[in-house]
Chain A
Amino acid sequence: MNNKAQQLDVTPLVEATYYQAVTAAIRSEAIRLLGEGKVAAVVGYRAGRRNNSALPAIVTSIDQVDQLIFSPACVNNLALYLTKAKNEVKGKGKLALVAKGCDLRAVAGLLGENQLKRDDVHLIGIACAGVYGAEADRGLPLCEATIARKCRECTVHEPQRTDAVTGILPKLKELPHLESEELARLEAMTPKERWDYWQAHFARCIRCLACRQVCPFCYCEQCLCDKNRPQAVESSPRPAGNSAWHIVRAMHLAGRCSACAECERGCPMDIPLNLLNRKMAKELKELYAYEAGLEPQEKGPLTSYKEDDDQSFIK
């Protein structure tokens, strides 16, 4: 958000040829998998109609494989197709999934939460340098001016535990961690200032629940916030209910969130939701040395404990 494009470096982070190579690799892997009957469908990306955009694509036959691409416009977290969006690919059989680092983190989380079995998915890992931010000028290549805020501090550029890997990234330029800086700025505020900051955002929320819809971890069949017996969270878009919704959402994702920031990207009101997620991730790392990673964990930080956990806040 608010990348001041004109002041920022527009030198490409990776060469355009890199994306051609990755695209070719995805296609050849897709042809092999579909050809050998290893999978029934490949979930990946195809080009969108608008300039330099991309959409999720479900490819079921070799003649469709040419649709598949990879570019910095491939922003969606495709792990969604393993849970909520499963209906769209249901009954097709085993899936292959084109997955960036943050998608893979979601896959690892979903494996730990018993939502899929590793054998049910063929993972085509992408070495990803980053994707476009929400307001990026799509005429520019992936560069400091256009990269998404979350990608500036990505720790999972290189895929792991996948069935295939495409791309070898050059050494990436270190970029300032804008999101962590923003987090630090908020943390330095007084409680009242923070309250005002968040209320200004939450008050604008229209409760479209796009944040819930795009989240690979919001896969509950009945969301707590939709329940009315009892109604824990007011469902109409009033400031009180909005605040409750965002607090509950952040709490439910704490220790599970894969930091893909799809919630923030999906938000039509530009609420910086990933700041909440990043804050929780930061606290859980400090408290319990937990970090969402590519390795599935048997238990998350809030479903396990140690007898000597910190309790300095308890009298």
Chain B
Amino acid sequence: MSRIGVFVCHCGENISRTVDVEQVAQAAGALSGVAHACDYKYMCSDPGQNLLKKAVADHNLEGIVVAACSPRMHEKTFRKAAASAGVNPFLVEMANIREHCSWVHEDKAEATAKASDIVTMLVERVKKDKALAPITVPVTKRALVIGGGIAGIQAALDIADCGHQVVLVEREPSIGGHMAQLSETFPTLDCSQCIMTPKMVDVANHPNITLHTYSEIEQVDGYIGNFRITVRKKARSVDMGKCTGCGVCMAKCPQKKIPNNFDRNLGTRPAIYVPFPQAVPNTPVIDRENCTWFKTGKCGVCQKVCGPGAVDYTQEDELIVEPVGAIVVATGFELYSIAEKPKGSPIKGYGEFGHGNLPDVIDGMTFERLASASGPTGGKIQRPSDGKEPKQIVFVQCVGSRAREKGISYCSKICCMYTAKHTMLYKHKVHDGQAYVFFMDARTPGKGYDEFWRRAVEEEEAVYIRGMVSRLYQKNDKIVVMGSDISVGVQVEIEADLVVLATAVQARSGADSLAQKLGISYDGYNFYSEAHAKLRPVECATAGVYLAGACQGPKDIPDSVSQASAAAAKVMTLFARDELEREPIVAKVVDRYCVGCLACKKVCPYGAVEEKEIRDRQGTLLKVVAFVNPGVCGGCGTCQATCPSKSVELDGYTDEQIMAMIEAL
């Protein structure tokens, strides 16, 4: 490139006060390859930009250096101006002689010399610049939502309502997630199922939603706009097309003593079952591990009683490939159990709380099932050991959460509020009962939350004791709660009928393996990582993957729903265009020199590097090389610095461009 234009800006007096701009322009004019150099009062102004455009035409310029402010300020401005004059925008460089020179130095001679040096470096760089064109990527306007809890349901409905196809994948036989298990919800105490089930039905009836329940993500290929998802639809043993949901099979199943997981194992269910009466879809599934037919080959009652002949013992897992353009991950959370060892902790569980072996020490979700009108006790608060109504109930907060020594240092966020709710529900059902709460702090930052908590304390007479519980043990038919009240500095001992632990919200087991399939990152607790904690809280760093709900970190229902709608909005933004356009600052592999050591693949933060086979015309494999998918590449260039032979080059920051600047030092 031999026809370069250099434009030195005065920036009013911002630059010219300390830099002799005429001298800089003059020196630039003398550089080899510079066809035109001038200075102007305000390059970014309209007349300034016109000056640049005119110079391009007059001097037939092929490359441009604007010596002015930071490229972070006006690079786009000048690239656009150059483009309108017919110069590829990537042949425009900015020499930062304001922020990096005139503003930080006082001596005019020194500042001028430095400004000239900066211009020289950029002139040398421009000579090695290559014209680049934006990258376009086609978009499949179809979304995958993983997880059918409230977050997944909300995201799916929003996207589907916008007119796009949605594939909703749920691991359990029914959608609904944790919210379907709850009794009432804070801070309004409306019935969870009453607000949840209509949404579940909406999903089932929505023409734009394809629902895969009892299914898991097997494999994820592709990239933003162009994912290929393999879904494993587990064998349900019931033909969904034929089943009418009459429920006779469940009623006749002779195996009825299986603990019902949905009811936190308080009740039982048959081997052919729906998790709860309002399940969507209302098609039963056979639990093959507990089914007599599958264990012994004898029985077959459900098949015999099924009118439409929907029961099919020979069904097998099915793999379905779904092409989608965007993915919303809404896989939710799991509750920590005091019997399990927290991740990364040297201490196994809570031995001081009996390791989960005391039947009348339960967790918050179990209490929800006790309090739920559709629960195993029909909404009566009865303790698991003998069904007695507890008259003294103790709630313990922060079990696992905020306990660094137990390995979980974060706050689970929802427990303060649901414990306050539990005390109310309890009081409403057991009028002569007394609730105690051991707590560290009451964290109530949410609309109407503090008022709700105050109500629990002031109107519903829950006794809040600030302090920790050191031990729980069985004494006759009571659970002795030994704790401290640090506000008065005394030890407290309560003989409780029932103890409810607010156990930590944890990432789903298997969250890490799903993250690996999706190529998204996760933190030390296996919660999924957002691209930016403040400014991109919904996007993953992996383009085209969005987060909703508690899979990202503990969240309550309003937060999950908000984030789900935000994720849906991001998906719809993506789907608003037929093609994605991206800055062409991406890495490219030179097939000829690449030896396929795949060091680039190992360091790529985006998982953008794939393996590509090079074959001759006969189809014989010659070698395997790296291939950078331009749709996925983020443009950091770590691959190039790692590549021993520099067979991968980051456009816009090639070795030639950088070396040219170093040589000009």
Q: Which residues on the A side are within 8 Å of B642 (C-beta)?
A: 302-303
Would you give the shortest CB distance from A179 to chain B, in whole angstroms? 25
**Is A51 an interface residue, CB under 8 A from the partner?**
no
| Alpha-carbon distance between A302 and B593 when the two chains are bound, in angstroms | 21
A227's partner among B595, B603, B646 (CB-CB below 8 A) is B646
A220's partner among B595, B655, B660 (CB-CB below 8 A) is B595
Contact indicator B602/A229 (Cβ below 8 Å): no
Would you give the shortest CB distance from B91 to chain A, in whole angstroms? 18
B597's partner among A115, A222, A223 (CB-CB below 8 A) is A115
Chain A residues 253-307 with CB under 8 Å of chain B are 298-300, 302-304
Residue with the highest number of chain B CB atoms closer than 10 Å, among A220, A227, A298, A304:
A220
| Alpha-carbon distance between A227 and B598 when the two chains are bound, in angstroms | 20
Q: Known interface pairs A113-B599, A303-B599, A304-B602. Does A220 touch B659 (Cβ–Cβ under 8 Å)?
A: no
Q: Known interface pairs A113-B599, A222-B593. Does A230 touch B645 (Cβ–Cβ under 8 Å)?
A: no
Chain A residues 88-126 with CB under 8 Å of chain B are 113-115
A232's partner among B598, B599, B659 (CB-CB below 8 A) is B659
Q: Interface 1/0s, chain A 208-229, versus B by CB < 8 A? A: 0000000000011111100101
Contact indicator A221/B593 (Cβ below 8 Å): yes
Q: Which residues on the B side are within 8 Å of A227 (C-beta)?
A: 646
| Alpha-carbon distance between A220 and B594 when the two chains are bound, in angstroms | 8
Chain B residues 550-564 with CB under 8 Å of chain A are none
Question: Which of chain B's residues has its CB closest to A298's CB?
Answer: B602
**Is B624 an interface residue, CB under 8 A from the partner?**
yes
Would you give the shortest CB distance from A48 to chain B, in whole angstroms? 31
Residue with the highest number of chain A CB atoms closer than 10 Å, among B642, B645, B646, B656:
B645
Contact indicator A220/B593 (Cβ below 8 Å): yes
Number of residues of chain A lying within 8 A (CB) of chain B: 21
Question: Which of chain A's residues has its CB closest to B597's CB?
Answer: A113
| Alpha-carbon distance between A113 and B644 when the two chains are bound, in angstroms | 12
Q: Which residues on the B side are within 8 Å of A299 (C-beta)?
A: 602
Would you give the shortest CB distance from B588 to chain A, in whole angstroms? 15
**Is A252 an interface residue, CB under 8 A from the partner?**
yes
Question: Which of chain A's residues has its CB closest to B638's CB?
Answer: A303
Q: Which residues on the B side are within 8 Å of A224 (C-beta)?
A: 644-646
Q: Which residues on the A side are within 8 Å of B596 (C-beta)?
A: 114-115
Q: Known interface pairs A224-B646, A304-B602. Does A229 touch B593 (Cβ–Cβ under 8 Å)?
A: no
**Is B647 an interface residue, CB under 8 A from the partner?**
yes
Q: Known interface pairs A221-B645, A222-B645, A304-B602. Does A230 touch B595 (Cβ–Cβ under 8 Å)?
A: no
A113's partner among B594, B598, B663 (CB-CB below 8 A) is B598
Q: Which residues on the A side are within 8 Å of B644 (C-beta)?
A: 220, 224, 252
Chain B residues 622-665 with CB under 8 Å of chain A are 624, 642, 644-647, 655-656, 659-660, 663
| Alpha-carbon distance between A250 and B379 when the two chains are bound, in angstroms | 72
A221's partner among B595, B598, B659 (CB-CB below 8 A) is B595
B645's partner among A115, A223, A302 (CB-CB below 8 A) is A223
A229's partner among B592, B603, B656, B663 (CB-CB below 8 A) is B656
Chain A residues 104-161 with CB under 8 Å of chain B are 113-115
| Alpha-carbon distance between A278 and B92 when the two chains are bound, in angstroms | 46
Would you give the shortest CB distance from A250 to chain B, in whole angstroms? 12
| Alpha-carbon distance between A303 and B592 when the two chains are bound, in angstroms | 23
Question: Which of chain B's residues has its CB closest to A299's CB?
Answer: B602
Contact indicator A222/B624 (Cβ below 8 Å): no
Contact indicator A115/B602 (Cβ below 8 Å): no
Q: Which residues on the B side are within 8 Å of A113 (C-beta)?
A: 597-599
Question: Which of chain B's residues has its CB closest to A84's CB?
Answer: B595
Q: Which residues on the A side are within 8 Å of B595 (C-beta)?
A: 115, 219-221
Q: Known interface pairs A115-B595, A219-B595. Does A230 touch B660 (Cβ–Cβ under 8 Å)?
A: yes
Chain B residues 586-626 with CB under 8 Å of chain A are 592-599, 602-603, 624
| Alpha-carbon distance between A245 and B655 when the two chains are bound, in angstroms | 17
| Alpha-carbon distance between A311 and B659 when the two chains are bound, in angstroms | 27
Q: Known interface pairs A114-B624, A230-B660. Does A220 touch B602 (Cβ–Cβ under 8 Å)?
A: no
Residue with the highest number of chain A CB atoms closer than 10 Å, among B593, B597, B624:
B597
Q: Which residues on the B side are within 8 Å of A230 (C-beta)?
A: 655-656, 659-660, 663
Chain A residues 197-251 with CB under 8 Å of chain B are 219-224, 227, 229-232
Question: Which of chain B's residues has its CB closest to A219's CB?
Answer: B595
Would you give the shortest CB distance from B146 to chain A, in whole angstroms? 26
| Alpha-carbon distance between A302 and B597 when the two chains are bound, in angstroms | 13
Q: Which residues on the A side are within 8 Å of B624 (C-beta)?
A: 114
A303's partner among B603, B647, B659 (CB-CB below 8 A) is B603
Q: Which residues on the B side are within 8 Å of A223 (C-beta)?
A: 645
Contact indicator A114/B597 (Cβ below 8 Å): yes
Would you give the shortest CB distance from A35 to chain B, in whole angstroms? 29
| Alpha-carbon distance between A303 and B603 when the two chains are bound, in angstroms | 5
Q: Known interface pairs A230-B659, A232-B655. Does A303 touch B593 (Cβ–Cβ under 8 Å)?
A: no
Contact indicator A303/B645 (Cβ below 8 Å): no
Would you give the shortest CB distance from A111 to chain B, in whole angstroms? 11
Question: Which of chain B's residues has its CB closest to A222's CB?
Answer: B593
Q: Which residues on the A side are within 8 Å of B594 (C-beta)?
A: 221
Question: Which of chain B's residues has its CB closest to A227's CB?
Answer: B646
Q: Which residues on the A side are within 8 Å of B646 (C-beta)?
A: 224, 227
A222's partner among B598, B647, B659 (CB-CB below 8 A) is B647
Q: Which residues on the B side are within 8 Å of A303 (C-beta)?
A: 599, 602-603, 642
State the 10 A-B residue pairs at the shortest beta-carbon distance, nearest first. Answer: A230-B659, A220-B645, A303-B602, A222-B593, A113-B597, A230-B656, A114-B598, A252-B644, A299-B602, A303-B599
Q: List 30 A-B contacts (CB under 8 A).
A: A113-B598, A113-B599, A114-B596, A114-B597, A114-B598, A114-B624, A115-B595, A115-B597, A219-B597, A220-B644, A221-B593, A221-B595, A222-B593, A222-B645, A222-B647, A223-B645, A224-B644, A224-B646, A230-B656, A230-B660, A230-B663, A231-B659, A232-B655, A232-B659, A252-B644, A299-B602, A300-B599, A300-B602, A302-B642, A303-B599
Chain B residues engaging chain A, CB cutoff 8 angstroms: 592-599, 602-603, 624, 642, 644-647, 655-656, 659-660, 663
Q: Taking A113-B597, A299-B602 as given, write out 15 further A-B residue pairs in contact, using a Cβ cutoff of 8 Å, ordered by the A residue number.
A: A113-B598, A115-B595, A219-B595, A221-B592, A221-B593, A222-B593, A222-B645, A224-B644, A224-B645, A230-B660, A231-B659, A298-B602, A300-B602, A303-B602, A304-B603
